[in-house]
Chains A and B, each alone.
Chain A
């Protein structure tokens, strides 16, 4: 809803927030205490509720478009340095520069950081303070229907003084699936509430009674009563937002995932695999049409909707456990989730601005017996296409412009560059690779299958000489053979070591194309690791790094598309002449351990030279 129009709704509008606050204050413990027979527990609960509301009001923001005619919304600050969450459909019409009002009465500049168009989430960063008030996350899986909650935001753009409005309600339902409205935005596993959410509330937080974020309000069921709240609003779950946060911080246009197959519910209540893609990871892991799905990502699958719910909370590229049953035998599989959109398709959808459902005409055509598809409270009046900086008429202030860099595939490439540089710096601190050693490395080690091996790694190739006299070579610029071998002694291993060396010396010379993907878990572990993606010639390497030290924990090398990667797990780093490097590597391919390399010694002096 445009601010201009909404202002006409009521001249007394800006006072609403104060009226609500006044009502809350009237029912403060002092006032309650005067009534006889009010239990101390009730007084304590009321005090806690009031305290919770007061505590989080400063962290909620009113978002305005600098051009002042393409909409506005709400948001919530999640870090003291100014990162804030809102809806993608709030930021899309405004372009890359936003203005945010805080309850201190000041207006702060902000820049877009990352967007998740499918999940309707955007990460922005505010400028001007290092001590922004913040709100804390809660675990949305613990939320139950009937729990008290409250929404804070800027309905009808009432908050001309930037004091957000608060509306209280209860959780009406959890794990709701709301199918896409329009072409792109899909709400999965969301929280339904009867707290009033109206045009302008979009992107604002839904809090539990303790004032912790349980969701981001973004969608409502509207219908014949017009575009005002009818007691049915949907919030993106806090757990989903948190899982995407690492990816959003990469400055990318982030995608959701597909399992590589569709599911359907059978009459007996089971959920079965249908239409599996033969090129998918799930197919390579042995999943087949007709397999019955029991669980995904350790959550039970009870219906097609619940499968879609779970899938929607996982970012593209994560590997998650899948439990299937075939012939009464249960199998536990790790599957890699691929992007739900083709890369170009997603970017085009974002750029077209055609991602929202158009408002329905007053008299709808027949045949609409399906569910009512809810829509974003403030989307339909948008007119500016999103994501295209050229269409934006307002100039960015210098401070914002310095933190913005346009590049295809990114919401803001400046943040990817920044994250990548931070990681490479931390990596240099951890590994302490001397600059002079970057040209040629030599490795002597004990291979679990074929004994001693010496490996030479240089700028453009790698060579392994085994005790048997066998020699393996790898040259990055030479086309690969058509069928990768997954041979733990062959070129797969050499390519992985070659690419590792390239990353470790990237501080001294460029890796090639290298970007920060975000945060993903290594299979079987809960901890989220930083992921750098490097492409060199036809190879793509995913480096999984310790979130604090940026030590390489693991590496996946994809020799080609639609094949399994070769995996290296790095263990026992010790100081060596080349820096702090691992003494043991575990090798994996296609879910199997395929060997280890132990007693690794790293040196810049060739063993041959040494002998001579």
Chain B
């Protein structure tokens, strides 16, 4: 724990301060909302019916599962937008063990959240509040199906922790690769593990404070971030998705000044023969960023920044969302003899 905490300190000056704040405010916070321990287990039990387990598409060695929460009695499920949702329908498993098909209603590419719909009624659900009062030091609980530990009607996992900081997500480029640059709750517990994204962050009364974000690693120092997207921000986005309005093309900060092209990275793709030509590498230019990152001809690029790219065209489109100063994480599938291996590389143009 100590070493993990030390890492957090390195990556963000704000979190560093916040941890001190949390240390000293801890007793006060404890005094303000301090339900007897027995009632925490009670709150955990009460929260479980509002959580779902989502099983969808995996990619190579990547997890085919994530978490989600119910946001209406009629089966609207809030989760994160990721490759897991690639299939037309995914499996949504309710707390009582029912396994239902989830269909995508809409998504927000900036927050990277999505709404699924399942065919069920009279469900317990979280209220998406427009305002939320969260301060550093607040005690929180994180619910998710991290590592897909639970299946069927087994309970999702719960962790406790404190809000370490309320801060904007990496207001500089080249660190956490996410289009979202807004406010997040930084947490002092290791909440954002594989499969945890889409889970619930609540206070100790079980009220929703946010949803657990996708796994984010600072590519410059290899630190993983534990954070949640605030419910007020999520709630606006959900309202937009449900109203069917096309998504705002994003804040200017998210728009690259110089969009990346495959050529800038030294990638020469196989020729486009069909609309769905897969993004295989024809060649990699010598001395290019791609060559330095170890890419080779015949590698197949399957993801850019954790989002799947099924075709040559979608690869070009995805790369264009990055600026030349951004680090780009590529996931490739490489065939060597009879076996296929998955590799992750990080590269940038510069």
Q: Give me the interface of A with B, judged by CB distance under 8 Å.
A: 9-10, 16, 27, 32, 35, 37-39, 41-42, 45, 144-148, 167, 169-176, 178, 192, 194, 196, 198, 209, 221, 223, 225, 228-232, 265, 269, 302-303, 305, 363-369, 371-372, 374
Contacts and interface: CB of A to CB of B under 8 A. Distances in A.
B4 A148 contact: no
Interface string B182-206: 0000000111011000000000000
Given A27-B27, A172-B159, A221-B193, A41 B152 contact: no
Given A147-B41, A173-B150, A229-B190, A363 B343 contact: yes
B27 A35 contact: yes
Contacts of A371: 147-149
Interface string B27-46: 11011001011001111110
B153 interface: yes
B189 A231 contact: yes
Contact of B333 (A35, A229, A366): A366
Interface string B96-107: 010000000000
Contacts of A367: 60-61
B37 A209 contact: yes
A231 B58 CA distance: 24
Contacts of A9: 3
A196 B193 contact: no
A62 B44 CA distance: 34
Of the listed residues A172, A265, A364, A371, the one surrounded by the most CB atoms of chain B closer than 10 A to its CB is A172
B170 interface: no
B160 interface: yes
- A interface secondary structure, majority: loop
Q: Which of B28, B37, B97 has the most CB of A within 10 A?
A: B37
B37 A45 contact: yes
Interface residues of B, number: 54
A172 B97 CA distance: 19
Given A228-B4, A230-B190, A365-B61, A42 B149 contact: no
B200 to A, nearest CB: 14
A172 B157 contact: yes
Given A39-B31, A363-B344, A369-B64, A194 B147 contact: no
Given A269-B97, A366-B61, A146 B40 contact: yes
A268 to B, nearest CB: 11
Given A228-B3, A229-B190, A368-B61, A303 B153 contact: yes
A196 B4 CA distance: 11
Contact of A144 (B44, B154, B194, B340): B44
B263 interface: no
B63 interface: yes
Contacts of B37: 45, 147-148, 209
B63 A194 contact: no
Contact of A232 (B58, B152, B157): B157
Given A146-B158, A232-B147, A303-B153, A42 B45 contact: no
Contacts of B63: 369, 372
B160 A194 contact: yes
B333 A146 contact: no
A363 B343 CA distance: 6
A148 B146 contact: no
B155 interface: yes
B224 interface: yes
3 shortest interchain CB distances as A-B pairs: A146-B44, A369-B58, A146-B41
Contact of A176 (B1, B42, B149, B160): B149
Contacts of A269: 97
B147 A146 contact: no
A292 to B, nearest CB: 16
Contact of A42 (B31, B42, B333, B343): B31
Given A173-B158, A305-B154, A371-B147, A365 B339 contact: yes
Contact of B155 (A173, A221, A363): A173
Interface string B130-167: 00000000000100001111111111111111000000
A198 B44 CA distance: 25
Contacts of B194: 223, 372
B119 interface: no
B187 to A, nearest CB: 10
B333 A173 contact: no
A230 B343 contact: no
A16 B1 CA distance: 11
Contacts of B340: 365-366
B2 interface: yes
Interface string B1-28: 1111000000000000000000000011
B188 to A, nearest CB: 10
Given A39-B31, A229-B4, A369-B64, A145 B36 contact: no
A567 B164 CA distance: 65
Nearest to B26: A27
Contacts of A32: 27
Contact of A41 (B27, B36, B61, B150): B36
A269 B98 CA distance: 9
Contacts of A364: 61, 342
Most buried by B among A171, A363, A366: A366
Contacts of B43: 146
A35 B25 CA distance: 12
B60 A366 contact: yes
Given A42-B34, A371-B148, A302 B153 contact: yes
